[in-house]
A and B are shown apart, each in its own frame.
Chain A
């Protein structure tokens, strides 16, 4: 049984957030992979852009940041140079500058360091699941998927537990800045000019900045060096120190990107369990935990695309990408590429190899938090599978209104606990 079938007509408007509110337009992506793998989209609201949809093309281009640069913006939307400078994080830099920042936090997110969180994560899962399974029907995104990454975020940042709901609400307002359920300042529906120098054009960016400043002041007064924030403030080997703006933006990046992507991976995994009942049985009886997290994350692909900008003219599949053109890598499409994944719309927890690109594999911007994400996903599903006999959907799920973050924001389910 398939988990979910795309309904777009094969010619969806990729610039429209409403398109993605019905789920990623996979019929369109399939057509583009087949017929027009370097596809130009004209756009009223900004400069047009190229869409790259094949797994192989994205893999080849992504390894080459000198030709396809991150340092002019990473979203579809245009930014002035001034806005870009004010809002950029190390996501919007190229090597070697990118490495200077990344190296400061790489250890904190490395596989062996992250592995030490396993028992913490299991405790949090115990807590979350024991509470939620007191009821039989609930929204699995809110009750389960949202909870674990939010509470882990507190451990990573070293923030007080009681601040977490507020932080996550602000993080949502940033990253889901096109969904009226998450922000009062919907990006494409009203002017957000006042906030154009803030992360994600959002007033939540200003709130988070203020919070980060106060938090660091409190922590330094108390001599508290828990969490990753103090790491980013340390001078680099060359003595360079992060600016206030860069710190603010890094904090916002952790709160936003470090949170909802894992949430939507967990939500997509639960959605798959509802429609492929054999998944629960496999989780309970088979040795699939080496491969299952990556398959769930492939299925989810929360980062639908990232943008690059060509630094020189490039010929590809009969098209000419000009220097200065925006180029979108649609990871969402690559992860359903039938030339790489057998039966791509089927969740196969033992899929191996699984060369999915959900973490931006193949390029310098490979997800910093990927080991943490895999670990959270594995432990959550191990603990969930131990506790239930069955799980089913009680209504249609709802997708986020965003062409940037793919996620199930509402997922009504019914479970039968053990």
Chain B
């Protein structure tokens, strides 16, 4: 699948990502600034917070309980309805063309 990260400075980074790789891993592999993934995708840090572009919110699926809790407690100030932890979005054909926005620091 193809994914595009929109950065706070207005620039974009795009990449092709193999199925099964999550969007945090993909972002770290492509040095997307602002997506750190400090806990390795274990829902302990919220440093891979992104906003999913409006067209993609439904396709990326539901927010899990721990994801919900982490977003709520650590990212409350930046949280929007389209907020996700990108480690919880896993590449698959149905997400080809996905657009993710990286929050301002």
Decide if A and B are genuine partners.
yes
Binding site for B on A (CB under 8 A): 59, 62-63, 65, 95-96, 98-99, 102-103, 106-107, 110-112, 237, 353, 359, 361-366, 370
Q: Mask for B22-62, Cβ within 8 A of A = 1, else 0? A: 00000000010000011111111110000000000000000
A63-B66 CB under 8 A given contacts A110-B73, A111-B74: no
Enumerate chain B residues within 8 angstroms of A364, measured Cβ to Cβ: 39-40, 42-44
Residues B38 and A359 in contact, CB atoms below 8 Å apart: yes
A63-B41 CB under 8 A given contacts A96-B66, A103-B66, A103-B69: yes
Distance in angstroms from A107 CB to nearest chain B CB is 4
Residues B40 and A62 in contact, CB atoms below 8 Å apart: yes
11 A-B residue pairings within 8 Å (CB atoms): A63-B42, A103-B69, A106-B73, A110-B74, A112-B74, A361-B39, A362-B37, A362-B39, A365-B44, A366-B44, A366-B45
A98-B44 CB under 8 A given contacts A106-B74, A353-B31: yes
Enumerate chain B residues within 8 angstroms of A110, measured Cβ to Cβ: 46, 73-75
Distance in angstroms from A373 CB to nearest chain B CB is 13
Enumerate chain A residues within 8 angstroms of B66, measured Cβ to Cβ: 96, 99, 103
Enumerate chain B residues within 8 angstroms of A112, measured Cβ to Cβ: 74, 76-77
Report, nearest first, the 6 A-B pairs whose CB atoms are least far apart.
A63-B40, A364-B42, A110-B74, A107-B73, A362-B40, A366-B39
Number of A-B residue pairs having CB atoms within 8 Å of each other in the complex? 60
Enumerate chain A residues within 8 angstroms of B31, measured Cβ to Cβ: 353
Distance in angstroms from A58 CB to nearest chain B CB is 11
For residue B70, CB closer than 8 A to chain A, the reply is yes
Q: How far is the CA of A103 from the CA of B31 in the complex (A)?
A: 28
Besides A103-B69, A361-B39, 13 new A-B residue pairs in contact (Cβ under 8 A), listed by A number: A59-B40, A62-B40, A63-B42, A99-B43, A99-B66, A103-B70, A106-B74, A362-B39, A362-B40, A363-B40, A364-B40, A364-B42, A365-B44
Q: How far is the CA of A62 from the CA of B41 in the complex (A)?
A: 10
Closest to B31 in A: A353
**Residue in B44, B45, B74 whose beta carbon sits within 8 Å of that of A107 in the complex:** B74
Q: How far is the CA of A99 from the CA of B37 in the complex (A)?
A: 16
Distance in angstroms from A113 CB to nearest chain B CB is 8
Closest to A365 in B: B44
B interface, how many residues as a size bin? Answer: 20 to 34
Q: How far is the CA of A107 from the CA of B39 in the complex (A)?
A: 16
Instruction: State the main secondary structure of chain A at its contact with B.
Output: loop
Enumerate chain B residues within 8 angstroms of A111, measured Cβ to Cβ: 74
Distance in angstroms from B4 CB to nearest chain A CB is 21
Closest to A64 in B: B40
Interface residues of B in 7-30 (CB under 8 A from A): none
A65-B42 CB under 8 A given contacts A103-B73, A353-B31: yes
Distance in angstroms from B81 CB to nearest chain A CB is 19
Closest to A362 in B: B40
Enumerate chain B residues within 8 angstroms of A59, measured Cβ to Cβ: 40
Distance in angstroms from B80 CB to nearest chain A CB is 15
Q: How far is the CA of A59 from the CA of B29 in the complex (A)?
A: 13
Distance in angstroms from B49 CB to nearest chain A CB is 11
**Residue in B38, B65, B73 whose beta carbon sits within 8 Å of that of A361 in the complex:** B38
Residues B38 and A106 in contact, CB atoms below 8 Å apart: no
Q: How far is the CA of A63 from the CA of B75 in the complex (A)?
A: 22
Q: Which of A59, A107, A359 has the most CB of B within 10 A?
A: A107
Q: Which of B44, B65, B69, B76 has the most CB of A within 10 A?
A: B44
Q: How far is the CA of A261 from the CA of B41 in the complex (A)?
A: 25
Enumerate chain B residues within 8 angstroms of A370, measured Cβ to Cβ: 38
Distance in angstroms from A48 CB to nearest chain B CB is 27
Residues B69 and A362 in contact, CB atoms below 8 Å apart: no
Enumerate chain A residues within 8 angstroms of B43, measured Cβ to Cβ: 95, 99, 364
Closest to A236 in B: B69
Q: Which of A111, A359, A370 has the most CB of B within 10 A?
A: A111
Closest to A368 in B: B44
Q: How far is the CA of A112 from the CA of B31 in the complex (A)?
A: 23
Q: How far is the CA of A111 from the CA of B76 in the complex (A)?
A: 11
Residues B74 and A366 in contact, CB atoms below 8 Å apart: no
Enumerate chain A residues within 8 angstroms of B75, measured Cβ to Cβ: 110
Closest to A95 in B: B42
Q: How far is the CA of A112 from the CA of B75 in the complex (A)?
A: 8
Closest to A94 in B: B42
**Residue in B41, B42, B70, B77 whose beta carbon sits within 8 Å of that of A106 in the complex:** B70
Distance in angstroms from B44 CB to nearest chain A CB is 5
Closest to B39 in A: A366
Residues A362 and B73 in contact, CB atoms below 8 Å apart: no
